[in-house]
Amino acid sequence: MTSKLAADKVSAWYGTKKAIEDISIEFEEHSTSAIIGPSGCGKSTLIRCLNRLHETVPKARVEGHVLLDGKDVYEDDPVAVRRRVGMVFQKANPFPTMSVYDNVAAALRLNGVRDRKALDGVVKRSLEKAALWDEVKDSLGKPGVSLSGGQQQRLCIARALAPEPEVLLMDEPCSALDPIATAKIEDLIFDLKKDYTVVIVTHNMQQAARVAETTAFMYLGHLIEVGATRELFERPKETLTESYITGRFG
Amino acid sequence: MAFPFRRGARRARLHPTGSSWGDTLFRAGSGAAGVAVLALLGLIAIVLTVNAAPSLRTFGLGFLVSGEWNPVTNQFGALPFIYGTLLTSALALLLGVPVSLGIAIFVSELAPPSIRIPLTYVVELLAAVPSVVYGLWGIYVLVPLLAGYVAPALQGSLGFLPVFQGTIYGTNLFTAGVILAIMIIPTVSAVTRDALTAVPQNQREAALSLGATRWESIRIGVLSYARSGIFGAVMLGLGRAFGETMAVTMVIGNRNAISVSWFAPAQTLSSLIANNIREALGTDLYLGAVVELGLVLMLVALLINVFARLMVWRFLGTTEGLE
């Protein structure tokens, strides 16, 4: 088993409040892993520790190790880490003052890419990967925020894919979308694992079942169970997991 | 599910007559307040125009382009004062806005809470200092400092520019620009800070998650999001610089002529009005000219505002934050 990304005894705090405790989990290369659990269980906090975003919140703190290709990201430069580990957020957050094109090109421009041809190529490729190209190819100059909600979220996915990250973290990417837009994004996630290691946080168990090979269940800041998605839903080992997936709480 | 009220009773509760009266009153009251603002503006314009009538009749549009201001020969022209007002305000923005942005960014994005809160209070306190106090401070501290050290240094290094040439006077246009810059900093930085703190956290995180550094995330995630708010802050600062009278009068030197050198005394529209109104009372044409300067000041401020808004529409393609 080749694990692309792994958390090793990770704990995280907001001030004095401990959000997650002692979590160890591995994510395989070119696979999709889902993290499920009730609201407030710490699933978002966990993936925000993976790209070192958690520590940017005032008074937030992390302990433990996160290994990307076996190297601890907490001993690396956070900016370099985030260029290899992209992220898509719960609420679509395109830059409102930028066009569709400029949103997708943002990360490359940060890296100093100025060549228009190179940018054109990356913008097209990223929008294609995000299954948005056909819908926006004639309106690349329009503001990113003029798109519909589902399109904006796919724009954010294209923006995250543009710098060619190795890992893509998705924090409840469909929670603000209607069923049709959700279906589009789920199809997309299914395709993305060919090239990327995808970790998706969701409170929607059906979604986890549809897109992920591996699923982890978290509860009250603890990792309760990890397993092959089918296995976890059909024969959970822990009673807590079973209670959750059968809808007895959460 | 049975509803515990009779149908009629429910309607009565939703639309009680008392609150409908309140609605009418409230609408009339706030409507009147809104109309009053327009009426006030109109009245000011009318009173100024009526009192300026002798000057308007005598000089016509020539008033705006004539550089001569001589009460003895009854020759009046506004050009030196329009020039002084525009240039001191431009200097104030040039020097004050970068500092204000720096303060706002530091307070909203970088400072730890233990520094942020006291700093916010101190900056807002500066806005409450009366302008005559700024003027006194200007005379006793700023004038000797600028004329003794800063102006000679500028003349030494950038002396090839005509604006830095010539005799260095103590009270001059440059000093007025600097004091205006200091006076607009509290307003511009406080309003900018509000615009920056209103930027949603997810914009900063979007930039950070793309591998932006701290500064890059402030630039693409925060400043660009808040740009119309920042623009509004700058316009407020400009408004203050335009109208500021007392402190400017105390340090500008009050000479009714245009000089190329920034180190020469000058005059602004508002400082001239303050200096001459008492003397002008009783002479129709003189008073008319002074009042017409007030009209010009209003007009220039209005034009600059309209122009700035047009620029925002043109370049930013947005009307947000301008309503």
CA distances, A158 to each of A162, A164, B170, B209, B323 (Å): 6, 10, 60, 13, 33
A14 in helix, strand or coil? strand
Strands (E), A89-213: 167-171, 197-201
> What stretch of H or E contains A103?
helix A100-110
Distance CA B173, CA A158 (A): 53
> A86: closest CA among A8, A152, A163?
A163
Q: Pick the residue from chain A with its C-alpha nearest to B317.
A: A97
Distance CA B219, CA B226 (A): 10
- pLDDT at residue number B315: 64
Q: In whole angstroms, how large is the CA radius of gyration of chain A?
A: 18
Q: Does B209 touch chain A (CB under 8 A)?
A: yes
Minimum distance, in Å, between the CA of residue B318 and any CA atom of chain A:
9
Q: Which two tokens stand for residue A186?
A: 């789920």
pLDDT digit string (tens) for A234-250?
A: 999 999 999 998 887 75
pLDDT digit string (tens) for A68-89?
A: 999 999 999 999 999 999 999 9
Distance CA B71, CA B78 (A): 13
For chain B, where are the alpha helices, taking DSSP H only? Answer: 7-14, 17-59, 62-65, 79-105, 113-127, 131-137, 143-145, 151-158, 173-197, 201-209, 214-216, 227-243, 246-251, 269-280, 284-316
pLDDT digit string (tens) for A146-167?
A: 999 899 999 999 999 999 999 9
Place of tokens 């020759």: B75
B57 C-beta neighbours (distance < 10 Å), count = 10
The B residues from 296 to 315 touching A (CB cutoff 8 Å) are none
pLDDT digit string (tens) for A182-224?
A: 998 899 898 888 899 999 999 888 999 999 999 999 999 999 9
Distance CA B106, CA B114 (A): 13
Distance CA A186, CA B154 (A): 64
Q: Pick the residue from chain A with its C-alpha nearest to B217.
A: A110
Is it the case that residue A19 has pLDDT exceeding 90? yes
- pLDDT at residue number B14: 53
Distance CA B221, CA A103 (A): 11
Query: In this structure, are residues A26 and A3 in contact, taking their beta carbons and an 8 Å threshold?
Result: yes
Distance CA B89, CA B248 (A): 11
Q: How many residues in chain B? A: 323
Place of tokens 């004091």: B179
> A144: closest CA among A152, A136, A133, A134?
A152
Type of residue at B60: G
Q: Which domains does chain B carry?
A: 79-277+296-316 (1.10.3720.10)
Q: Which two tokens stand for residue B290?
A: 């002074």
A95 and B204 within 8 Å at the Cβ level: the answer is: no
Q: Does B206 touch chain A (CB under 8 A)?
A: yes
Place of tokens 């992220």: A87
Assigned domain for A216 exists: yes
Domain total of chain A: 1
Q: Which two tokens stand for residue B226?
A: 């808040």
- pLDDT at residue number A250: 56
B168: DSSP letter? -
Of B113, B200, B224, the CB nearest to A97: B224
Minimum distance, in Å, between the CA of residue B97 and any CA atom of chain A:
21
Minimum distance, in Å, between the CA of residue B255 and any CA atom of chain A:
46
Distance CA A243, CA B173 (A): 78
Assigned domain for A138 exists: no
Q: Render each residue's pLDDT in chain B as its tens digit; 323 residues.
A: 444 545 554 455 555 555 688 899 999 999 999 999 999 999 999 999 999 999 999 999 999 999 999 999 999 999 999 999 999 999 999 999 999 999 999 999 999 888 999 998 998 888 889 999 999 999 999 999 999 999 999 999 999 999 999 899 999 999 999 999 999 999 999 999 999 999 999 999 999 999 999 999 999 999 999 988 898 899 989 989 998 999 999 999 999 999 999 999 999 999 999 999 999 998 899 999 999 999 999 998 888 888 888 877 776 655 443 33
Q: Which two tokens stand for residue A232?
A: 């976890």
B205 and A89 within 8 Å at the Cβ level: the answer is: yes
- pLDDT at residue number B7: 52
Residue B80 CB partners (closer than 8 Å, separation 6+): B67, B69, B256, B257, B258, B266, B267
Q: In what order do the strands lie in the sheet with A71-72?
A: A17-28, A3-14, A60-68, A71-72
Indicate the burial class of A222 (C-beta count within 10 angstroms; 0-12, 13-18, 19 or more): middle
CA distances, A143 to each of A106, A152, A250, B185, B218 (Å): 14, 10, 39, 33, 20
Is it the case that residue A170 has pLDDT exceeding 90? yes
Place of tokens 């003189």: B286
Share of chain A above pLDDT 90, in %: 79
Distance CA B207, CA B213 (A): 8
Distance CA A60, CA A63 (A): 11
Assigned domain for A47 exists: yes
Chain centroid to Cα A91, Å, comes to: 12
CATH number where A53 lies: 3.40.50.300
Range of the domain at A177: 3-94+167-245
Assigned domain for A24 exists: yes
B211 and A93 within 8 Å at the Cβ level: the answer is: no
Strand pairing report for A85-88 and B69-70: unpaired
Place of tokens 């924090």: A171
Indicate the burial class of B124 (C-beta count within 10 angstroms; 0-12, 13-18, 19 or more): middle
Assigned domain for A46 exists: yes
- ipTM comes to 0.91
Q: A30's torsion region: left (phi>0), alpha (psi -120 to 50) or beta?
A: left
B208 and A56 within 8 Å at the Cβ level: the answer is: yes
Minimum distance, in Å, between the CA of residue A170 and any CA atom of chain B:
11
Q: Which two tokens stand for residue B106?
A: 């530091």
Assigned domain for A212 exists: yes
- pLDDT at residue number A7: 94
B210 and A93 within 8 Å at the Cβ level: the answer is: no
B60 in helix, strand or coil? coil
**Residue to test with chain B: of A45, A110, A111, A156, most B Cβ within 10 A:** A110
Place of tokens 């429910």: B10
Distance CA B290, CA B117 (A): 45
- pLDDT at residue number B248: 95
Of A82, A94, A98, the CB nearest to B209: A82
Distance CA B38, CA A174 (A): 49
Q: How many CA atoms lie within 13 A of A151 on its CB side?
A: 17
Distance CA B169, CA B172 (A): 6
- pLDDT at residue number B322: 37
Distance CA A167, CA A29 (A): 9
Q: Does A107 touch chain B (CB under 8 A)?
A: yes
Query: In this structure, are residues B255 and B268 in contact, taking their beta carbons and an 8 Å threshold?
Result: no
